[in-house]
Structure 1
Amino acid sequence: MKRITTLAGTLAFALTVGFTPVTLIQAQNKGRTEISVKELPKISSNSILGSFNADFSGHNVSSDFLINHLGEWLGTGSDHTYKLLKQNKDELGIKHSVYDHYYKGVKVMDDMILLHEKNGKLTYVNGEIITDINLSPNQQPTSQRIRSIIISDLKPQGKLTISNIEEVITKVSNGRKAVLYHASKVEALSMKPLKAFTYYIDNASGTVVKKNSRMHDADTPSTSTTYYKGDQSITVDSYNGEFRLKDNARNIHTMNGTNLDVDTINGGIINVEEYISPVANYTAVDTKPAVEVHWGMKNAYDYYMTRHNRNSYDGNGAKIDNYYNFDFGGFTGGANAAALDTPLYGGIVCMLYGNGTLFGGLLTLMNPVVGIDVAGHEYSHLIIGRNGLGGLNYESESGAINESIADMLGTAIEFYSGSSPNWTIGEGIPTASFLNPSPSPYMRSMSDPNNVNPGPQPDTYNGTYWASTANPDADNDHGGVHTNSGVGNYWFYLLSQGGSGTNDIGNPFNVTGITIEKAEKIIYRALTNYMTPNTTYMDAYNFTKQAVTDLYGASGNEQQQNVKAWYAVGIGNGILATSEAVRNQDHFNIYPNPVKEGVLTIENDKNNVSVEMYDASGRLIKGAQKLNKGTNKIYINNVQKGIYLLKVTSEGSGISTKKIIVE
């Protein structure tokens, strides 16, 4: 059974029914609270699949209060329940709580509520939620029927493996509306050709309504020769009197995947071989691509460990397996690289790299697909899939953002390595062929996304070269994921390096770079704390703004340049809203904003602090008032409605200017 809901119905977010904490929320607690539910921040809905956000900074709302009234705030009835998935407190002291959404006991895929709080008060809430659901359960197809449906769609040439069946509610965008299905969720894997998907099959009709790709394309010291970067330092392992490409400290293993297959009985990868050298330093021509992979992965591991305190892709030191010389089959052959991540056979997670040829080496399309930014890109896909919030679905805008973040962090890894870093992806991999006698010397350009042959990308949202995101499937690159990633890539470049010009929709821009070191922290934080599976570019705009607020404050230079960089690629108006300039992360909190009752509260944790109030023209409205350490009340009953500036001066922290609205 399916149900079509409109955007207004999907995210009406009126005020209806609520529930209580902690792991399962359903019934409402109507005890005394510090504020009314009607006074809670309004929800901004961003897509027909239910993405939303709400800024709680300055509202003085506890997480307990919202949890007790969550259903009332969201507008969901008693058939809707919410289970606590996880909680954690990050290095900035911000606590993050994630709740999954269930309808009549069935999980709604990709729906989740994310609560972010500091010192017991909410700062931000976001997630995905479909509130208008009216589905009745349908009998699941048999496993034999499901296998037949998948075989018809996937057309495997060899063995097909499928997982157990999970009953879910899935949501699909038709470009205008969200369509809901009571569905069977199944994992499927074919090795010939290599294909891995999560299938969603409508229980009522037996048709495939959605499928997400599980593949994302593209300790002995040693000085060994790579394919593109010359001699580099790596770590190898002593093995039967010789050496192999294995780094035990980082748990990285690079092998020959020419005959790679899956053990369908015991699970895991089989029929792979070691790259053996009689000496620790690999210099042979035929091992250069594999050494490039091994060196690139060493840098990828070190980058994430050093910059983001992440031990391997799962954060827990998981083994990192790389296989070079793999043939992907079909018309792709060896002209590809991919990260494979499937839960089948106990979980197969690895990175695969081709040699650039088709038909067993008879036709060369490109050089070996093994550059450091390519290795970093594929490794980053594994991290994106394990962001703790369900990853980013590999289709349409969320898939483009998935690809773009992999490029951003892959490039950050190349800069971290210090080995001739640049703002192109896969430089040296394209080569002349009968399909393209004059290709660009790189696969993608982050500084000039339009300037790539073949495959120019847009540098502006919905601008030149933007690919349609409707009806995503393998034939249209899952809705242009490798094309529309150019928008995010250019934002990251501008935020890091700066730039000026006029975009495709006629907006002039001038961005001052804040360095790649700051930009990478922003996108990684947005990914791991705020991005949900169907994140759109508008969501990414909101989530990076919140990440900047967490890291650098709401109204500093970093936020200004972030907003300008998004404006440059066609998203946002390039101006900070007044509500974004109310929080100083260091020592004080101002609320409420807007001010409605003539009383402003300032919580301060320092001595020798004073505050002055000015109107928008700079005229002093209220002279300096000393703030005590703790809670202070500022009475502004006689102040007219409008926008004002608070000048907060504190010994040791300087001067901060904050905008407030008086209503």
Structure 2
Amino acid sequence: MKKITTLARVLAFTLAIGMAPAALVHAQNRAGTEVSVKELPKISVSSVMGTFSADFSSANVSADALFTHLGEWLGTGNDHAYKLLKQNKDELGIKHFVYEHYYKGVKVMDDMVLVHEKNGKVTYVNGEIITDINLSPNQQPTLGRIRSIILSDLDAKGKVMISTVEEVISKVNNGRKATIYHTSKVEALSMKPLKAYTYYIDNVSGKVVKKNSRVHDADTPSTSTTYYKGNQSITVDSYNGEFRLKDNARNIHTMNGTNLDVDTVNGGIINVEEYINPVADYTAANTKPAVEVHWGMKNAYDYYIARHNRNSYDGNGAKIDNYYNFDFGGLTGGANAAALDTPLYGGIVCMLYGNGTLLGGLLTLMNPVVGIDVAGHEYSHLIIGRNGLGGLNYEAESGAINESIADMLGTAIEFYSGSSPNWTIGEGIPTASFLDPNPSPYMRSMSDPNNVNSQPQPDTYNGTHWASTANPSDTNDHGGVHTNSGVGNYWFYLLSQGGSGTNDIGNPYNVTGITIEKAEKIIYRALNNYMTPNTTYMDAYNFTMQAVTDLYGATSNEQLQNVRAWYAVGIGNGVLATSEAVRTQNEFNVYPNPVKGGVFTIENNKNDSSAELYDMTGRLIKGAQKLNKGTNKINIQDVKKGVYLLKVSSGSSAVSSKKIIVE
């Protein structure tokens, strides 16, 4: 069934968008004085997907004044409108308003505007917005054709559950810009093998232009668990004179996932089996992994209550389902753990854990993939998906940040438990196999991401071991999400514990740790108040800075250590400044990026412009070069490999910046 949101449902103020020239539009400031929209802060765009931010701390403008002419400030016209999705006031007294973007009455996926106001004054605005849209509605493919397209892509061996269809506008990153499609959005789930996606199918060609995974694979088992380190206190319940792994107070249920399947008629999961024990104490060898899962989830639940005042993953006490002994299929079989999170039939949400074997136990790949880090990691994926801003798309940099935050908070849960916490993830889990004959004693290291035999990770953005984020798919780990998460992990470690050294692009750093308790508050706040679906590492840098400003102040020691920790992983210049260069929206494009062969192209939309190239310390590498309006070839064959900042200045003195990589 086609779902269309009409302009009649959109806030009334949006009807005026674009109806007057920007120069003639005014908004009142807090004192009631008329302020020209041209005088409002410039918009800084940080990615081709339209992620943006603007610092309003010196603007003295109320949220109401900005709302009145939001479209004019964003540069959109009559076909664009903004619908208030939600608003809330947090524990710091900051109001957060979230607006969704519509074009000709159709929702633009992932596009939103986040306005943050304190004491009647806008302090910060960020979000995602694509303004260059020129589409007309097209007839959606038939449900039969859509089903055929999805079944062909899934190649499932069993039942497949498919949702109803929603009409949306989708944006796809093609490397140089975001390509816009009029699409049908559909959810699909298969248990054999486990695959779940949100599909975006072009209404014109019938092609799958994008699919976002609803299964968050971890491969990051726990460190301190009952399977490896003896008995822990858990809660079970009485069941027909025996006992099962169910904690009713926390609403946690751990079950046997050996024969799980989906119910395509009524929805939900079927063929569920209970773990049953004649006494309350589970001590048998074959139930230790399931007990470990149950104990780990208890700690994850308690951590979020204690540290973030969050009751279950949805904040409302939702049931937490765990299934141990699930076969993921394929080459890894039971050597995975995952969070399954789909909106099908009102929501199929659970965590799945493998036993570490392949072919029904004939081949051992690793020890059971269970434990406190696994529970914390998977549970955190469910929370990331419910940040109220659309979650973080599971591909490329946003997917790496998704994985990294799950690692950060999973580690925070381990430290909260007090059960032998440390900064390596999964020690004791790896075992020699034909897939990995010489494994490290752990799966990941947050303190030394490079130091993992089977899957080393980068500790520097675009540094050693960085995986390509181009063309995300199942075959390249959705654009390296499990590999590139090492950058965020190392930032979190340094911010918590401190450290010094020189990173992969030659930048020396020295960070003084502020404690994991403060670091976890920063990343949790950034996630739930500022991160939109296509957040990049540069965005994460900006959003954590804003989170620190909220919590500890813009010029606090916590902020200084935050920017130093990001500098250590190759982001920013490591200097705490009260203001940064202003970058205006949609002024130029750069390609190819990374730059190969010493030549790249700038497509410039302004007259009287020039370009300069800086390294990440702020040192000028290439002096000002005049740009023509249109296409400009830039030769940098004498520039060494590394990450640089390209700044383009226009005649109006506005500056737009982009990070480029030279290979």
Instruction: Report deviation, 1:261.
Output: 1.5
Tell me the equivalent position of 2:305. Answer: 305
Secondary structure of the 2:454 match is coil
Q: How has the CA–CA distance of structure 1 residues 278 and 525 changed in structure 2, closer, same or farther, with 3 Å as cutoff?
A: same
Establish whether residue 158 from structure 1 lines up as the match of residue 147 from structure 2. Answer: no
Paired residue secondary structure (1:212): strand
Q: Secondary structure at the match of 1:484?
A: helix
Q: How do 1:532-543 and structure 2 match up within 5 A?
A: 532-543=532-543
Aligned residues: 557
TM-score (norm. length: structure 2)? 0.82
Residue type at the aligned position of 1:257: G
Alignment match, 1:583 = none
Give yes or no for contact 1:371–1:427 (8 Å, CA) kept in 2: no
Q: Counterpart of 1:502 in structure 2: which amino acid?
A: T
Q: Name the SS of the counterpart of 2:355 in structure 1.
A: coil
Summarize the Cα distance change of 1:32–1:145 in structure 2 as closer, same or farther, 3 Å threshold: closer
Q: Is the 8 A contact 2:263 2:270 kept in 1?
A: yes
Q: Is 1:27–2:16 an aligned residue pair?
A: yes
Query: Deviations along 1:401-422, whole A, 9 cap, x unmatched?
Result: 0000000000000000000001
Corresponding position of 1:181: 181
Alignment of 1:576-591 (within 5 A): 576-579=576-579
- Tell me the residue number matched to 2:626: none
Q: Distance in 2 between matches of 1:72 and 1:105?
A: 18
Q: How far apart in 2 are the matches of 1:142 and 1:523?
A: 43
Q: Which residue pairs with 2:345 in the alignment? A: 345
- Matched residue, 1:267: 267
1:469 aligns with 2:458: no
Distance (whole Å) between structure 2 residues aligned to residue 267 and residue 434 of structure 1 = 38
Percentage of identical aligned residues: 86
The DSSP-based 3-state class of the residue aligned with 2:449 is: coil
* AA matched with 2:47: S
Q: Which runs of 5+ in 1 are unaligned?
A: 1-18, 219-223, 581-663
Which 10-residue stretch deviates more, 432-441 or 384-393?
Answer: 432-441
Distance in 1 (CA, whole Å) between partners of 2:346 and 2:332 is: 27
Quote the Cα distance in structure 1 between the aligned partners of 2:367 and 2:345. Answer: 32
Paired residue secondary structure (1:211): strand
Q: 2:250 maps to which residue?
A: 250
- Measure how far apart 1:472 and its partner are: 0.2
Partner of 2:82: 82
| Offset of residue 225 of structure 1 | 8.6
- Do the aligned residues in 1 keep the contact of 2:166 with 2:186 (CA within 8 Å)? yes
State the 1:431 CA deviation. 0.6
Q: Would you say the 8 A contact 1:369–1:429 is kept in 2?
A: yes
Distance 1:58 1:493 in 2: 33
Residues in 2 aligned to 1:109 and 1:205: alpha-carbon distance in whole angstroms: 19
Once the 2 structures are TM-superposed, how far is the Cα of residue 133 of structure 1 from its aligned partner? 0.6
Task: Tell me how far 1:21 sits from its aligned partner.
Answer: 9.1
Matches of 1:24 and 1:279, distance apart in 2: 64
After TM superposition, give the deviation of residue 447 of structure 1 in Å: 0.3
AA in 2 matched with 1:536: T
Query: 1:456–1:483: 8 Å Cα contact kept in structure 2?
Result: yes
Tell me, which stretches of 5 or more residues in structure 2 are unaligned? 1-7, 219-223, 581-663
Residue 32 of structure 1 deviates from its aligned partner by: 6.0
Check the 8 A contact 1:297/1:375 in 2, yes or no.
Answer: yes
Q: Is the 8 A contact 1:225 1:283 kept in 2?
A: no
The whole-number CA distance in structure 2 between the counterparts of 1:229 and 1:88 is 43
Letter in 1 for 2:402: N
Partner residue, 1:426: 426
Counterpart mapping for 1:207-606 below 5 A: 207-218=207-218, 226-579=226-579
Alpha-carbon distance in structure 2 between the residues aligned to 1:238 and 1:559: 50
Q: Is the 8 A contact 1:549 1:559 kept in 2?
A: yes
The letter of the residue matching 1:142 is T
Q: Deviations over 1:532-591 (max 9, x none)?
A: 0000000000000000000000001000000000000000000112238xxxxxxxxxxx
1:266-321 superposed Cα distances (whole Å, 9 cap, x missing partner): 22222121111221111111111001100000000000000000000000000000
Give the secondary-structure state (helix, strand or coil) at the position aligned to 1:328. Answer: coil
CA contact (8 A) 2:396 2:479 kept: yes
- The answer to whether the 8 A contact 1:215-1:341 is kept is yes
How far residue 20 of structure 1 moved from its aligned partner, in angstroms, is: 13
Taking the aligned partners of 1:352 and 1:154, their CA distance within structure 2 comes to 19
User: Quick check: 2:27–2:68 contact (8 Å CA) kept in 1?
Assistant: no
> 1:177 offset after TM fit, Å?
1.3
1:10 aligned residue: none
CA deviation after TM superposition for structure 1 residue 58, in Å: 2.4
Is 1:63–1:122's contact at 8 Å kept on the other side of the alignment? yes
Matching residue of 1:145: 145
Instruction: Give the alignment's Cα RMSD to 1 decimal.
Output: 1.6
Q: How does 1:1-16 map to 2 (within 5 A)?
A: none
- Partner SS state of residue 419, structure 1: coil
Shift of 1:26: 2.8
Please state if 1:91 is matched with 2:91: yes
* Higher deviation after alignment, 326-335 or 466-475: 326-335
Distance 1:322 1:503 in 2: 40
3-state SS of paired residue (1:64) = helix
Q: Residues 134-176 of structure 1: CA distance to partner in whole angstroms, max 9, x if unpaired?
A: 1111111111111111122111112222111111110001111
The aligned residue for residue 602 of structure 1 is none
Once residues 15 and 499 of structure 2 are traced to their aligned partners in structure 1, the CA distance between those partners, rounded to angstroms, is 50
Q: For 1:464 and 1:303, locate their aligned partners in 2 and report how far apart those are by CA, in whole Å.
A: 34
- Give the 3-state SS of the residue equivalent to 1:360 in structure 2: coil
Contact 2:389 2:533 in 1 (8 A): yes
**1:429 alignment partner AA:** I
Partner-residue secondary structure (3-state), 1:351: strand
Whether the 8 Å CA contact 2:225–2:372 is kept in 1: the answer is no
Aligned position for 1:647: none
**How far 1:200 sits from its partner (Å)?**
0.4
Residue 13 of structure 1 corresponds to none
Instruction: Work out whether residues 229 and 419 of structure 1, in 8 Å CA contact, stay in contact via their aligned partners in 2.
Output: no
**Given that residues 334 and 357 in structure 2 are in contact (C-alpha distance below 8 angstroms), is that contact kept between their aligned partners in structure 1?**
yes
Instruction: Output the amino acid matched with 2:557.
Output: N
Residues in 1 aligned to 2:189 and 2:225: alpha-carbon distance in whole angstroms = 35
CA distance in 2 between counterparts of 1:32 and 1:245 reads 59
Q: Which amino acid aligns with 2:445?
A: S
Task: Give how far 1:229 is off.
Answer: 3.0
Q: Which amino acid aligns with 2:540?
A: A
Counterpart amino acid of 2:185?
A: K
Distance, in Å, in 1 between the alignment partners of 2:191 and 2:58 is 54
Alpha-carbon distance between aligned partners in 1 of 2:416 and 2:562, rounded to the nearest angstrom = 22
Give secondary structure in 2 for the equivalent of 1:375.
helix
Secondary structure in structure 2 of the residue aligned to 1:287: helix
CA contact (8 A) 1:26 1:71 kept: no
Letter of the 2:14 counterpart = I
Distance (whole Å) between structure 2 residues aligned to residue 48 and residue 122 of structure 1: 26
Aligned position for 2:652: none
CA distance in 2, matches of 1:23, 1:450: 53
CA distance in 2, matches of 1:190, 1:20: 35
**Amino acid in the other structure paired with 1:326:** F
Partner Cα distance (1:532, 1:121) in 2: 22
Partner residue of 1:169? Answer: 169
Decide whether the 8 Å contact of 1:449 with 1:456 is kept in 2.
yes
The 8 Å contact of residues 445 and 451 in structure 1, kept in 2 or not, is answered as: yes
Shift of residue 260 of structure 1?
1.1
Report the equivalent of 1:70.
Answer: 70
Distance of aligned partners of 1:505 and 1:217 in 2 relative to their CA distance in 1, 3 Å threshold: same
Name the SS for the 1:534 alignment partner.
Answer: coil
Structure 1 residue 39 displacement after superposition: 1.1
1: distance between equivalents of 2:91 and 2:130? 32
**Displaced runs of 4+ in structure 1, greater than 3 A?**
19-24, 28-32
Matched residues in 1 for 2:414 and 2:353: separation?
18
Distance in structure 2 (CA, Å) of the matches to 1:475 and 1:445:
24
Q: Which moved more, 1:443-452 or 1:159-168?
A: 159-168
Q: Tell me, what secondary structure is at the counterpart of 1:382?
A: helix
